[in-house]
Amino acid sequence: MSRLQWGVSGSRVYEAGVDRGVFFPNNSPGVVWDGLLSVIDAPKSTEAIFGHQDGVKYLAKQPTEGFSAKVEAYTYPSEAEAYTGLYFSSQPKKTFDFSYRTMVGDDVSGLSKGYKIHLVYNAQFMLNSSSYKTIAVGNDLSILSWDLETTPISIDRHRASSHLIIDSSVAHPSALTALEDLIYGSDVTDATLPTIDEVLALFELSAVLTITDHGDGTWSAEGPSDVVESLNATTFQISWVSAVYIDTESYFVGTF
């Protein structure tokens, strides 16, 4: 046990900036989105579902909601024109995917600590706005903005999402490199956004610690000797950032 301490060096973590915007049209390679200013996460409030029995509440469930945001930019790629509705206000909205990066810093490393890659699926531009002024000395550039909505994609029976975040500080380096080669393109491939299932599979292939549920009440753990250590013929020990002791004989192993 130890007493709580405030202001410990390296503990003041923050995020700043947005860059490496990529717009993924339907059935076409991704293109650079220069001029991206901000992506402001703006979740919509949804009514919770409550269940009662004999006057006693026994259930409180929050419906799955898609990622919502306000996007601001000085400009956008020409490939996005058919999706923005800037030229025809009643233009039917088509879905697209896009990606952007935010930087992670702390009081020791500054913004070189790491970054987060955001993958957004099944998105639509909703309302848009822009402001134009007469030309004068010191004029600022006109800023375009859109409200953006997404529809969650089923991952398995229990989860659905339209927004994945990959943190470079905890992601396996080889998986991170493989992902960036896909979404940013390489010397031999165009930029493309893998599906959510493909992203999960990519990181599973590079997993340092693998837990396998055999479906019969037993499970096994695989990993390097410094992660899964055999103490004797019947006992082993797991040392990993997502492994949390429940008691002296039980672990909870989470995923990022």
pLDDT digits (tens, 9 = 90+) for 83-122: 886 555 555 678 999 999 999 998 888 888 899 999 999 9
pLDDT score recorded for residue 256: 45
pLDDT score recorded for residue 91: 59
Confidence of residue 164 (pLDDT cuts 50, 70, 90): very high
Look up residue 132 and give its two tokens: 């134009």
Asked if the model's pLDDT at residue 167 lies above 80, the reply is yes
Domain 14-206: CATH class, spelled out: mainly beta
Look up residue 249 and give its two tokens: 């004989």
- How far is residue 140's CA from residue 93's CA, in Å, rounded to a whole number? 30
pLDDT score recorded for residue 7: 83
* pTM of the model as a whole: 0.74
Q: CA separation (Å) from 217 to 82, 213, 214, 221, 231?
A: 52, 8, 7, 14, 22
Asked if the model's pLDDT at residue 233 lies above 50, the reply is yes
pLDDT digits (tens, 9 = 90+) for 61-78: 666 667 899 999 999 999
Contacts of 104 (CB under 8 A, 6+ apart): 13, 14, 15, 111, 113, 114, 115, 116, 167, 168, 169
- How far is residue 143's CA from residue 70's CA, in Å, rounded to a whole number? 12
Q: Where exactly are the structural domains of the chain?
A: 14-206, 208-256
- How far is residue 124's CA from residue 111's CA, in Å, rounded to a whole number? 31
User: What's the mean pLDDT when you consider all of the chain?
Assistant: 82
- Percentage of residues of the chain with pLDDT beyond 90: 30
